[in-house]
């Protein structure tokens, strides 16, 4: 079972993820993906956009954790999360160092959080 990351206060479930361009083989390498049940969409680091050669497919209005709205480009990324392949994940980008894994990814899995033991498990739904 993957472990919670104790660098967050309180500790948070963080999965191993890798992002890949949906057509080419451009790959991000291993990234940390913080599971966030409050996020509608997955958010990737802005640095990943040029690294993978992503192009915006649409734009949407997003509200951040502090309540501010901003218009964001939408990207599609193939992800591998804890060994499971996910095609065409809809994402937005923000100034962050890790991936914020939103409910649009969570809903593809059965996720069990064991906060007492700081472990989590995920299986395809």
Structure tokens at 17: 């993820």
In angstroms, the CA 104 to CA 101 distance is 8
pLDDT of residue 105: 97
CATH number at residue 43: 2.40.70.10
Place of tokens 């802005």: 46
Environment class of 17 (CB within 10 Å of its CB; exposed 0-12, middle 13-18, buried 19+): buried
What pLDDT was estimated at residue 66? Answer: 87
Q: What is the pLDDT of residue 117?
A: 97
**Residue 3, phi then psi, degrees to nearest 5:** -100, 155
Q: Hunting for tokens 């939103």 — which residue is that?
A: 102
When pLDDT is averaged across residues 85-102 and rounded to a whole number, the result is 95
What's the number of domains the chain is made of? 1
Q: Which two tokens stand for residue 68?
A: 């501010």
Q: What is the CA radius of gyration of the chain?
A: 14
**C-alpha span between 84 and 48 (Å, rounded):** 20
Residue-number span of the structural domain to which 67 is assigned: 4-124
Q: What is the pLDDT of residues 100-112, one digit of tens each?
A: 999 999 999 999 9
**pLDDT at residue 64 is higher than 90:** no
């Amino acid at each position: 079972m993957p472990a919670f990351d104790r660098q967050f206060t309180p500790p948070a479930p963080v999965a191993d993820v890798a992002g890949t361009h949906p057509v080419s083989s451009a790959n991000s390498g291993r990234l940390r993906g913080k599971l966030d049940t409050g996020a509608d969409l997955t958010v990737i680091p802005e640095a990943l956009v040029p690294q993978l050669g992503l192009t915006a497919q649409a734009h949407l209005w997003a509200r951040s954790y502090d309540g501010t709205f901003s218009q964001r480009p939408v990207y599609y990324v193939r992800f591998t999360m804890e060994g499971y392949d996910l095609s065409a994940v809809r994402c937005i980008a923000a100034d962050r160092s890790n991936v914020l894994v939103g409910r649009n990814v969570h809903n593809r899995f059965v996720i069990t959080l064991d906060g007492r033991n700081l472990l989590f498990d995920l299986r395809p739904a």
